[in-house]
Structure 1
Amino acid sequence: MRATANIPQPRTPAPRTGEPWQDHGACRGVPSEKFFSPDNERGRARDRRVLAAKLVCARCPVLRPCRDHALRTAEPHGIWGGLDERERAELRARGTTPAAH
């Protein structure tokens, strides 16, 4: 029996939502660490990671459903649909959230 190589599997921002749009995200294959802040991340390191994640989102064909999901579910962590936690909280506070479907 031949040994199987340890091939990394594509990753998407965790947690998986179970939504079919997520399989088409530009984030597929990008380490989730790009979208979610490690403990104690601050300042320029955070700014660089957030910008890199938003650049991935900017070319994403499913940006809108990803953003809508994060707003509808009040996702508390990470970059979703090109928005960080603070941006999503501001939109929710203004009542700018998509209708549930």
Structure 2
Amino acid sequence: MSNSYSYKLCGGPVAIQSVTLFDDKNDWREAALCRDTSPELFFPVGNTGNALDAISLAKTVCRRCTSQQECLEYALDSNQDSGVWGGRSEEERRHIRRQRVLSSKAN
């Protein structure tokens, strides 16, 4: 979906097109529970103490989210290296990627 806007700049018309980044494939983002949650919860700094608490809370939000699987697949497909995506931590996603590579090599 896109919207077109027209402006005049320095005396001449300028057309600007705004493109929506969400297509049908990414509609899951609109329904994701994390949209209304602080990003700091899903992208904690470190992996000890308070960061572990944040990761645990983020995973709790993910478990209740109807977009969890789509979110995880997006993170895996786009190589999201940081944060909690689809209820999985950075290390958990690395493990999934390794398993997929090993599985594809075995076939």
RMSD over aligned Cα atoms: 1.5
Give the direction of change, closer, same or farther, for the CA distance of 1:63–1:42 in structure 2 (3 Å limit).
closer
Greater helix share, structure number: 2
Q: What pairs up with 1:1-101 in 2 under 5 angstroms?
A: 18=22, 19-38=26-45, 41-95=46-100
Q: CA deviation at 1:20?
A: 1.4
Q: CA deviation at 1:42?
A: 4.0
Q: Percent identity?
A: 29
* Count of aligned pairs between the two proteins: 78
Structure 1 residue runs of 4 or more that deviate by more than 3 Å after TM superposition: none
CA distance in 2, matches of 1:37, 1:48: 9
Greater strand share, structure number: 2
Give the number of the structure with larger relative contact order, counting CA–CA contacts within 8 Å between residues 6 or more apart.
Answer: 1
Instruction: For structure 2, list consecutive stretches of 5 or more residues without a partner in the other structure.
Output: 1-20, 102-107
Question: Partner residue of 2:11?
Answer: none
